[in-house]
Amino acid sequence: MAYIETGINQPGIVELLFYKNSTGNALSNLANALLLEKSPLSSGERELIASYVSYLNECEFCHLSHSAAANAHLGDNGETVTCIVQNFETANISDKLKQLLKIAGKVQKSGKLVTPQDIEVAKSSGASDEEIHDAVLIAAAFCMFNRYVDGLGTTPAKKEEYAEMGRRMAKGYKMPPNFLKKIILKIMNRKTDDGAVAFMKEKGEGSI
């Protein structure tokens, strides 16, 4: 549970998204736009950037959940995520993605650390303007998400829960309609997270 009283017994950002409709809907829509909607970067590549920035910020919930989402997209049992965390320069990824991760790592510290040379190197490695834009925005947004999750003291999920969480995240981040949330919250607080997700699927709603 978070430092504040939310009445929602769920891990990480899930607790906070359901706590306040206006911000929960806006943040989940932002995550969906950043990670799943149209971009020249694949969803797997975008999830890798989100996972890497969350790792740099030491946000356990976001790092492990978005690592699991990346794994769901890439289907490599976490090999790419592990290599990127250890040393992305030697990871089996494209030179373009290495340069975008380098830029993302600088944004994680300060946007002012990104130089024109960083951009030119990324472009010479095949990155388009839109790909650079999306990488910077994901890095900046996940600094916000990470600080939101950790600043309110949310509880990470159990290790064994992340794989299924990642599979759901890979399908979508949008929240259910507000009129269904009270019903879903009752189920979430009474049963497991899987029970709530099963209910949402039965009603035709997307995953969070």
Which pLDDT does position 205 carry in this prediction?
43
Which pLDDT does position 196 carry in this prediction?
44
Which pLDDT does position 96 carry in this prediction?
98
| Domain residue spans of the chain | 12-202
Question: How many other CB atoms sit within 10 Å of the CB of residue 140?
Answer: 15
Say how far apart CA 36 and CA 70 lie, in whole Å.
Answer: 11
Which pLDDT does position 198 carry in this prediction?
46
Q: Shortest CA distance to 14 belongs to which of 3, 1, 30, 32?
A: 1
Does the domain at residues 12-202 carry the CATH identifier 1.20.1290.10? Answer: yes
Which pLDDT does position 187 carry in this prediction?
78
Say how far apart CA 128 and CA 133 lie, in whole Å.
Answer: 9
Looking at residue 55, the DSSP 8-state letter turns out to be H
Mean pLDDT by 10 residues, the chain (208 residues): 91 95 96 98 98 98 98 96 96 97 98 98 98 98 98 96 96 91 77 46 42
